[in-house]
Structure 1
């Protein structure tokens, strides 16, 4: 197989890719601002370009570098960790500690998808020397310029740019939808449960007017403690996506030979160890909870109770924990804490059902996002050399 062409290629392109050096496509520049607050301050991070929050350390950004859309920005100390980006936000200012470049004789959209590939990160590390700490490594610019790339002709570069720009736009779209749904859920958790000293929530389904009653938590649930070593699907902390209440794998395929708490469908698992990690799950199967779990069997609508343990009120109480290095929720505190719940079972069901639908939508968009990211990862491996 010809190693100078990618595994997957657009139709109509047959020429070998040409080996070039990164320095062939970069022109370093150092245009600095002479006016304070001339442009918005930006930061280059391992995750991408960001708008700078808060003041700069000197309270003045005179002398900061002016960058435009399409310029390359990198951190000489953290390049090997992925702090290298093409500015996609706006004309702005970046700290003088960054290296900044213009692209020449190449489509930046062809370079962009490759910047953080594993092989590129390895190259950056190989041309960086150990700094004052384990994390910091100092970039040797001459070595950076000598990093080798295989490059097609401009028409093929343009096709690759369009493809990966489309994928990135779809990823951004689903990420925004996901963020919006998560913010919506956060807002509804605050508004559909009564605030402190209030008897009814701020937002409520039509037709319900009764005050919510105050109940101790241990009257709302039965804490299940029966242990078992049955050959059932097992759930451990590592199996749950923190804050999502979803499994990250098919636990039925794991096998189990350890003892844990036996749970059944509709039981609620709450991670009492480091409760701030937000490990929780409502079961839709029978299984074994292994590790520091509380298993609740709800005496009211289980979906409502599951939503209740995600509220800020429950979070605050569950974090009144014992221990310092390995904090655990204190059952006496949680059990005796009072929460307001609807008297009407129908209202409980409606609230629980609403949040279940929200959770399902969040999961759907997360799966679409994960699928797009995996697709992009696969194409990066097969469409570049």
Structure 2
């Protein structure tokens, strides 16, 4: 085997021999795409109409799917009779996304999606895993490189070249990788459920439908309505031109885009400065003051002193409000509710100062913030597991295929 070239680096021990190179068209019973003509109507339809926006790696996203009439579906389905077990592949738009059709029902495809029906001696799940691997994606990219209009034709899909083992080995690889996918889906579902639970709990906590009790079991007192301007000090950032920035210096200098590099706590930056002009204390709540980032609700806590650019602002908490509680309040309320969104979204002092907040005593604020932080930790831990599993699978795909 040492002299064999067409063998994977990682292989089940019971298999040997070189894999055979074949074109996808040679191992498929049928490869075709959906309709090249738009259906007459999407009103009151009963048949799913799947386009490239509905096909993701590993699943179909049907929440935004359209429906077409029986007449339109029948016309499309005569040529494009996609069935359960067929491989779907996007050929326009976001090219190279793929999944196995697990639906029992008939549906129609737009031409932006192709389907591949494998011959009986080839595993559809093996070919799907091959397509989504780096090897498969590189083959797809090689077919569209240099094109002004990025699109895969059916002719090119038929000519994709891959290496194949025996059906038995294909099936074993596919079964193993499917188990990995199932683990990934379970983790993603767990994360989604935690996020839904957190959203519901925040709704109940900030509406006071759900209340914590004191350590002695007694009720906390009534919440007090305040204006944000009464409990925070507002800071805005400065122009980057005022600072000599370098990769290593005393204080982080952050811009809006660097809020993408963390989830809740802002710690590091790509740029630093030795200046102390505009330095804000740690444990402020920071967020963008203009632009689309407001709509994306990018709210962070700085856990080290730092300097902000002019597109950011910070709220420094007084003794009356716990900074973690303020973070979750703004995260729940959403920045766009505070902002002026009549044109380009923006937040200034005049939007912050009068904004109303109901405040419990500091002890209850801390209990609320700690509880929500514990949920965030579970969500982040689950995301870490997802990322690790995805990296592990990517490594497997690189080693288990030729």
TM tier, shorter chain? Answer: 0.7 to 0.9
The equivalent residue for 1:181 is 194
1:95 paired with 2:101, answer no
Deviation at 1:102, TM superposition (A): 2.0
Structure 1 unaligned regions, length at least 5: 195-200
Deviation at 1:150, TM superposition (A): 0.8
CA distance in 1, matches of 2:280, 2:71: 59
2:264 to 240, 245, 264: 245
Q: Contact 1:322–1:328 at 8 Å: present in 2 too? A: no
CA distance in 2, matches of 1:219, 1:135: 56
CA distance in 2, matches of 1:238, 1:3: 46
The equivalent residue for 1:62 is 73
Per mean C-alpha deviation after superposition, the further-off stretch among 226-235 and 69-78 is: 226-235
The equivalent residue for 2:371 is 354
* SS at 1:101 equivalent: strand
CA distance in 1, matches of 2:279, 2:67: 54
Q: CA offsets, 1:56-87, max 9 Å, x none?
A: 25586531535333112234434x71243321
Compute the TM-score of the two structures, normalised by the length of structure 1: 0.81
Q: Contact 1:322–1:330 at 8 Å: present in 2 too? A: no
2:280 to 263, 277, 280: 263
Change (3 A) 1:96 1:284: closer
Change (3 A) 1:306 1:37: closer
Deviation at 1:116, TM superposition (A): 2.8
Per mean C-alpha deviation after superposition, the further-off stretch among 111-120 and 149-158 is: 111-120
1:294 paired with 2:307, answer no
The equivalent residue for 2:347 is 329
Deviation at 1:355, TM superposition (A): 1.1
Change (3 A) 1:242 1:121: same
Q: CA offsets, 1:303-337, max 9 Å, x none?
A: 1111111123x53433325752xx32122112111
Deviation at 1:171, TM superposition (A): 1.0
Deviation at 1:123, TM superposition (A): 3.5
Per mean C-alpha deviation after superposition, the further-off stretch among 153-162 and 170-179 is: 153-162
Deviation at 1:26, TM superposition (A): 0.9
CA distance in 1, matches of 2:159, 2:327: 56
The equivalent residue for 1:147 is 160
Q: Contact 1:129–1:138 at 8 Å: present in 2 too? A: no
The equivalent residue for 2:290 is 273
The equivalent residue for 2:224 is 213
Compute the TM-score of the two structures, normalised by the length of structure 2: 0.78
The equivalent residue for 2:9 is 7
Deviation at 1:13, TM superposition (A): 2.9
CA distance in 1, matches of 2:66, 2:21: 44
The equivalent residue for 1:73 is 88
1:307 paired with 2:328, answer yes
CA distance in 2, matches of 1:73, 1:226: 49
Deviation at 1:38, TM superposition (A): 7.7
Change (3 A) 1:99 1:323: closer
CA distance in 1, matches of 2:278, 2:306: 8
* SS at 1:310 equivalent: helix
Deviation at 1:117, TM superposition (A): 3.5
CA distance in 1, matches of 2:278, 2:28: 60
* SS at 2:282 equivalent: coil
Change (3 A) 1:205 1:164: same
The equivalent residue for 2:26 is 24
Q: How many residues align?
A: 365
Q: Contact 1:301–1:348 at 8 Å: present in 2 too? A: yes
Change (3 A) 1:22 1:58: same
Q: Contact 2:49–2:108 at 8 Å: present in 1 too? A: yes
Q: What do you get for the CA RMSD once the two structures are aligned? A: 3.4
Q: Contact 1:20–1:151 at 8 Å: present in 2 too? A: yes
1:368 paired with 2:349, answer no
* SS at 1:306 equivalent: helix
